Chain A
Amino acid sequence: MTRTRREILGTGGGLAAFLSLFPLAAWASAVVDIRMQGSGDGSHVWFDPIGILIKPGQTVRWINLDSGNSHTTTAYNPANFHRPRRMPEAAKPWDSDYLLPSESFSVTFTEQGVYDYYCIPHEHAGMVGRIVVGEPQAHEWTELAGANGGLPEEALRAFPAVEDIMAKEIVRRHDYQQQGEP
């Protein structure tokens, strides 16, 4: 897995419009975008999509499209603030640090497995996400789901099920909430 430096995007609004032109199903390309978003009054914050299936070697780019807040993408790993490991042991953890509006951060995933991550200031508000790389073995995410130490209930409830990600490839936040799944 390789991590890349943060990037400043010139036009956040233009980027949002650009992204909306492309159907999510078309994200079979090398780079997959995950938007960091929030409501105008800061009452809601989220990653979109919240769950994705990618191939080994693909890059994920997180982009802060929230004009009124900073966000992070931070892997659950003891290297990051002694958080429980919820990612493959062989993979390197990442932490973007705070991204201001229009900034982005990229990670290339090479190790097959399930990766859970969160936004530092918004974990307690359930701003988490899950990435499935390749075709992980069932026992891998069963063990991962057991690593709940210290995670707030709001975060645990927000993770989309690995099976759903495997079946749909992309799980949007709102789609998932409508299912009422934990």
Chain B
Amino acid sequence: MKKLALALVATMASSVCAMAAADVAKSPPAAPYQQVSKLVKLPDFLPGMGQLFVDPATLPAGPFLAYDHDGKLVSTIYMLPIKDLNPDTRFDNLAAPGGNVDHVDVYYNAGHPGVDVPHAHVVLWHVPVADQARVAK
């Protein structure tokens, strides 16, 4: 009985994740997500990342949802200020609505409007490495 309950919970959780992923799979994602280039003055399509959407209430960490030129979700990006990577600050329970993750990139960014301090980009790619070219430029 206990196993059955666990299986049911796991199935429900999986379904919720699948539904969440479906909600954001195509651009534009539903509110509260908003187009980053309409929130701050940045190019609408960022080479290497794509077209970004974010819930402003989650800044600076995000998640930022990144779409290719066809409006297909390619990655979920978290932006973590370097100064906040210290013993007194945590980033817990960040939303991850994008579904399956193929691989992860982590790299330094000097800053940009919206997150105007040096920070780390943690990129959950939902597409294979070869498909990153879809947002290269």
Interface of A toward B, CB cutoff 8 Å:
38, 40-45, 67-70, 97-98, 100-101, 120-122, 124-125, 127
Contacts and interface: CB of A to CB of B under 8 A. Distances in A.
The 7 closest A-B pairs by CB, nearest first: A121-B116, A125-B110, A98-B41, A42-B109, A45-B110, A121-B111, A68-B47
Contacts of A68: 43, 46-49
Nearest to A39: B110
Contacts, number: 61
A121 B115 CA distance: 8
A42 B41 CA distance: 16
Interface of B: 40-43, 46-49, 107-113, 116-118, 121, 137
Most buried by A among B41, B49, B121: B41
Contacts of B117: 124
Contacts of B49: 68
Nearest to B111: A121
The majority secondary structure among interface residues of chain A is: loop
Contacts of B40: 70, 98
Contacts of B110: 38, 42-45, 122, 125, 127
A125 B117 CA distance: 7
A70 B118 CA distance: 14
12 contacts: A43-B109, A45-B111, A68-B46, A69-B43, A69-B46, A70-B41, A70-B42, A98-B41, A101-B43, A121-B111, A121-B112, A124-B118
A125 B118 contact: yes
Contacts of B116: 120-122, 124
Given A68-B47, A69-B112, 11 more contacts: A38-B110, A42-B110, A42-B111, A43-B107, A45-B110, A45-B111, A69-B43, A70-B40, A70-B41, A70-B112, A121-B112
Contacts of A98: 40-41, 113
B113 A70 contact: yes
B43 A121 contact: no
A8 B133 CA distance: 28
B54 to A, nearest CB: 16
Nearest to B109: A42
